[in-house]
Structure 1
C-alpha cells in the first residue's frame, strides 16, 4: 500500500521540478539581449525615446521619430513580447 503513494509523490516531485526548470528557462532580460533576429544597418542612440511609464501591472510605451515616421512600442517590463505601431510622415517628426 505504501508503494503507490511513494510513486505518486515521486511523480509529483518530478513534475514540480520540470515546471520550475521551465519557468526559470523562460526568464529573460529582453533589454540587455543583443540583436539576434535580423541583419541591421546600424542603430540610433543619438536621440532618446519618450517613455510613457504606467503603474505596476500595466503595459508601458515608448515613442520615437525615425526618418519622419513616428514609432510607438508597447512593452511590459522584461517580457518577451511587445507591440509596434508606425505613423507614417508624422508632422511632429522633423
Structure 2
C-alpha cells in the first residue's frame, strides 16, 4: 500500500491553513485589535466647518490645527477620503 499521497495531501493542507491564518492576521489585524493604536500626543477637539455637497458627492470638512488649515474630504462613513494641509494659513493662529 502506498502512503505517500495521503501524507503529501496532509502536508499541503497544513501549509494552506498556516498561510491562510497568517494572511488573515496581517490583513484584518487592525480591525480585530482596535486598541493597538500608536501612542497619542495632543488631540485637537476644536469644531470643524463642514461643507455638505449635493447628494452623490463627497463632503468637505476644514479646521485649523495650529498655523495650518486642514481640509478633509469624506463621503458619509465610506472607507475612502483625502486630506490636504495648507501650511501657515493666514486664517489660522497658533495657540
TM-score norm. by structure 1 comes to: 0.57
The one of the two structures with greater contact order (alpha-carbon pairs below 8 A, sep at least 6) is 1
Residue 43 of structure 2 corresponds to: 43
Residue equivalent to 2:83: 84
Q: Which has the larger radius of gyration?
A: 2
Superposed CA RMSD in Å reads 1.9
- Structure 1 portions without partners, runs of 5+: 1-33
1:37 Cα shift?
A: 5.1
Alpha carbons of 1:44 and 1:56: their partners in 2 closer, same or farther (altered >3 Å)?
same
Number of matched pairs: 60
Unaligned 5+ runs, structure 2 = 1-33
Cα distance in 2 between the residues matched to 1:51 and 1:79: 16
Judged with a 3 Å threshold, the aligned counterparts in structure 2 of structure 1 residues 93 and 54 are, in CA distance, closer, same or farther, namely same
C-alpha displacement of 1:35: 7.8
1:44-74 deviation line (CA, Å, top 9, x unaligned): 22x2100000111100000000011000000
* Runs of 4+ deviating beyond 6 Å: none
- The change in CA–CA distance for 1:90 and 1:40 in structure 2 (over 3 A counts) is same
TM-score (norm 2): 0.56
